Chains A and B, each alone.
Chain A
């Protein structure tokens, strides 16, 4: 784990200061809810023009972190700069330049799409024309439809439209595609990519690794209020020291071989258990798989399932925490 640990610790001598050039910069962010330490010392830096993703399971502290950065939640400790400004001094100016999409907002059901966008447009001094935004989120044909009659994907695009209407420099998206079908998800991804093509900065949270891999230049993996790994998706995957994952499960109630025995197999660099199966990080699956099968055969246990795939961010999370991103 030393590779990612180095991206986490500050080089000695560098002062713990927030950056004024970055789109978002925070140091030592803390937030406590009664007994729960929701955010436990988060440092973040999002460059202008970048798409940064906070990836983590439910309850990891992603939303709390983002809402502090959005100026919607008070922090208990830490420094925050957004577009070089602070919430304490420049709130109104900042609001004019941010686009915020919250997790699960229920927009007024009995207003039409166009009326809703026009309402949000009126809050901003400068911004896009309602027509432009309708087109950007591809809801022109639904302009006269009541919000309550839209599908989940359309509602979500409208929610993003309300965030885009002020022509923001920085767009916050909190789990923008949770609960959407694959097609709606892809159409939202394209929307984010078009916004970025225009020079915008994005900070999003997600618990879908495909989403982070597709959209984000850099990803912070969050768990229990901390960022446990930070880097480009490729860097994080490379940090596993191997590109392939072999995942196997045994019949219910049968204990898998212990980690030491598995690590002794040829080509296995890491072992983790979680989600009812065992994951082996391997350099060469064609070497590791026969070795695994031989070992299981020797022990007289039967396989219930076996699969191999290229390593993903999900595997990075599993390797670090022993849990899946979405533990149901």
Chain B
């Protein structure tokens, strides 16, 4: 049991070290990454099964009891997130291996990618606020390298924006940690959850807002999102896909975790969270409509979709949180698929700008199908997974009679459909108005390079599977939401009482 919890963090780190040692051979590096990430996927699925059957699993580092030692905790939410993250990392790794381009051949790519995966796993599994900071830094530092690996001019410019914003968020996170430690004398999440009850009301609200702001920068909430569509599109498609699928969702996870675990119901800034959720959805989708490049449209959609997850959190009911968790599950898969398809469009079309590619529905029908499934799912067309996710959120919202946010979320779905259709008509239906930037690659018998098509298709099928298996998944999300709203179980499991 102990091993299940530590291995998703330790294995990728060991793999990263090994990968540097065999740096001369790209093939060996790829084998190491594939083996490690496959193992992590298996381990995290086993962990999720164990957690769902037997309850929360904890490990105290160094054998010291909880408030003193550093705890690793896996409850239902974190194990679900871990499973999704490792599946995405594995799929994108295969895609990156199959993708022609300079970056994936860089000596550092595989090891940095593994460190990123260790950081993501550590963020989900840690039960300690300071360790969350360290895990964030591990993940972010790896992402700084990945986003600038090509060292082209646009990458360096975008990378600087990204690094500076992340560093400012980290400095704020540190200040929040210092202030919370001064007030409560602990950074263990379970211990904090108990001691926060004794903190004066105003101070508690200040902490809640402070943490919301810090993780809001990482997650891309309104009005703190503008770095995201600026920096994501410049990285290679595989890297952007991982960032889009995972990094912002780690921020969302941290928001959900801290707001539900640390603060008692009366101290949560519920109204504010709902307003932010509405604004994030709306502004994000408007931004997407204005763009004319596949990856930039998709990047703005990340922002817009984050709003839905935060809306589920803002309801603070079991139905709302279950909707949010289901939405995260659906979104991670669908968004990663869309970005991988974006890479395929650039591969077979020679450009990502809507005016420079066209007619791909005839020349690359496989890519068209791979785009259409997640795109319709993102917009929430039944019977795809996005419909189930949005339906559960909307029904949770109507149960609470939060009509404004429900209306906004439905309106934004419509706009989402519009901008997805804009990509569809620009890239797949209408002819290209201009010449592509580079000579398009041959489409080939499989509709593209096999190693790029297979993981994309696998994820698209997974998103359909989420829709088919929506009932058991939603039940799981509901159990996870019930755990979140009753932090006693978490506290007792960690503190051993």
Partners in one complex: no
